[in-house]
Amino acid sequence: KLQQAKYDGVSSPSLCASISEEILKAVKELDFDRYKYVVSVLIVEKAGQAMNVASRWVWDAQRDTWVSAKCETETFIALALIMACYYD
C-alpha cells in the first residue's frame, strides 16, 4: 500500500488513519488474551531534514510491550508504533 505511494500532505492524515486501523485489526486477529492496543502511524515528507520521535509511558515492564516499523520511499517516511498493554 505504501511502497507505490507518493507523499501528499492532504491525503496523509486519512492514510495514517487507514493504516492504523489495518494494523489494529491484524493485531487483534492474533487473539492475545487480556491485551489492549494503541497504534500510532506517522507519515513525514522527505525534505532532507532530521527527525526524532519519542514516546513515554508508564506500564508493567514484564507484561506490556511494543514494536515499531518503518517504511521509507523516495518521497516520505512512514513510522508505525504498536503498544500492547496487559490488563486484568
Q: Which three cell numbers, joined as nine digits, stand for 55?
A: 514516546
Sign (positive/negative) of CA torsion 39, 44, 46, 48? negative
- Dump pLDDT digits (tens) for 60-84: 999 999 999 999 999 999 999 999 9
Task: Assign 3-class secondary structure to 16-34.
Answer: HHHHHHHHHHHHHHCCCCC
Q: Pick the more confident residue, 8 or 57.
A: 8
Domains, the chain, with CATH or none: 12-86 (3.30.1140.40)
pTM, full prediction: 0.87
**Phi, psi at residue 79, to the nearest 5°?**
-120, 135
- Dump pLDDT digits (tens) for 6-19: 999 999 999 999 99
**CA–CA gap between residue 42 and residue 51 (Å, rounded):** 12
pLDDT bin (cut points 50, 70, 90) of residue 88 is confident
